[in-house]
Amino acid sequence: MPNIELPSSTALVVVDVQAGTLPNARAVSAESLVSRVGSLVEAFRASGRPIAFVVSTGTAPGVTEYGPGGRVWPEGFAELAPGIQSRPEEAVQRRAGWSAFAGTSLAEELAAKAITDIVIVGLATTFGVESTARSAADLGFSVVVVSDAVSDPDPSGHERSLTRVFPALGRVRTTSEVLAAL
């Protein structure tokens, strides 16, 4: 993969790296995921670029093949994963939809900071991460998904997102490649 440039108008979007979702990290282990996300969080902070944390608090309304929507996750589920901490100036957006943009003020906050590019990390690759990448592309952001800092309960679905879906929405890079671009 060619190197990438990340302008100063790039933000890191951390999707669902939270206590309740970590047990679902199978494509990339929870330990590796948290370590890489932590490295990216610190590097973005050091470069003065903003970070947006988004956590899932439940499911969107409606009926699915998995059952009725509108479920609310138990207490503690939406707490950021151990080892990942937000700072007071870094709001944690809470959502019940699939995308980090659904039902949150994320798009408005990024626009207020003149953000043009977003780097996405988190889980699950085939749910929250993919939905966020699709929404971001639709909203006109340049998208980078960090291949070794996203995970999913289904390794084959994870691989399909990385090789078929994300390249159509933006760029796919490793943690090392993103760190080198900051």
* HEC secondary structure over the chain: CCCCCCCCCEEEEEECCECCCHHHCCCCCHHHHHHHHHHHHHHHHHCCCCEEEEEECECCCCEECCEECCCECCCCCCCECCCCCCCCCCCEEEECCCCCCCCCCHHHHHHHCCCCEEEEEEECHHHHHHHHHHHHHHCCCEEEEEEEEEECCCHHHHHHHHHHHHHHHCEEECHHHHHHHC
* Total count of domains within the chain: 1
4 within a domain of the structure (yes/no): no
In a domain, 157, yes or no: yes
CA 181 to mean position of chain CA atoms: 18
Integer CA distances (angstroms), 89 to 17, 138, 147, in order: 18, 27, 27
Residue 22: which CATH number?
Answer: 3.40.50.850
pLDDT for the residue 72: 65
How far apart CA 179 and CA 162 sit, in angstroms, is 19
pLDDT at residue 61 in the model: 66
Q: What's the confidence (pLDDT) of residue 91?
A: 82
Q: In this structure, is residue 30 part of a structural domain?
A: yes
pLDDT of residue 76: 82
What's the pLDDT score for residue 1? Answer: 55
List, for residues 57-97, the tens digit of each pLDDT value.
866 667 666 666 666 666 888 889 999 999 999 989 998 88
Residue 1 in domain = no
| CA 31/CA 101 separation, integer angstroms | 26
One-letter amino acid identity for 33? L
The whole-number pLDDT of residue 49 equals 98
Asked whether residue 2 is domain-assigned, the answer is no
What is the span of the domain harbouring residue 98? 10-181
Segments in the chain below pLDDT 50? none
Inside any domain, residue 142: yes
Give domain status of residue 3, yes or no. no
- As a whole number, the mean pLDDT across the chain is 92
Tell me whether residue 172 is in a domain. Answer: yes
Pull the structure tokens for residue 102: 């659904």
